[in-house]
Amino acid sequence: MAQIKVFGIREQLNPMKEQLAIVIHSVMMDVLGLPENKKFQRYFPMDAENFQYPKDRSAAYTIVEISMFEGRSMETKKDLIQQLYKQIHEKLQLSFHDLEITIFETPRAHWGIRGMPGDELMLNYTVEV
């Protein structure tokens, strides 16, 4: 299980949302083995005055937060980050400097999904990759 939140300035984020959603989910499937129908993404286009960032970033500065079950190896998580940077840069021309990615991992029992704790779900994909 993984859920994605993407934050950015409205005028920058909105035009790239559709393509960014495709790229992110493609990487999630390739690296984590998520099924095609397990696409959980939320976009937070913000007014510029509500999205502060360092002066050495541009208005295209974008934050991607990934919440997921714990259990993936360190190598897998690093590969996920590297592939997101690579694919987002190649497909959307977003500078490495203007992209920040954070992974938050929690035990499956800390998720509530379809009326039950996440550790009681039967998944059709492997978490331990």
Q: What is the pLDDT, as a whole number, of residue 129?
A: 67
Range of the domain at 105: 2-120
| 127: in domain | no
- The count of other CB atoms within 10 Å of the CB of residue 23 is 21
pLDDT (average), residues 96-124: 85
84-100 tens-digit pLDDT: 999 999 999 999 999 99
| 101: in domain | yes
* Dist. CA 112–CA 43, nearest whole Å: 21
* Dist. CA 111–CA 117, nearest whole Å: 6
Domains in the chain, number:
1
| 6: in domain | yes
Domain harbouring 12, CATH code? 3.30.429.10
Q: What is the pLDDT, as a whole number, of residue 93?
A: 97
| 126: in domain | no
26-39 tens-digit pLDDT: 999 999 999 999 89
| 129: in domain | no
- Three-state secondary structure call for residue 23: helix
| 108: in domain | yes
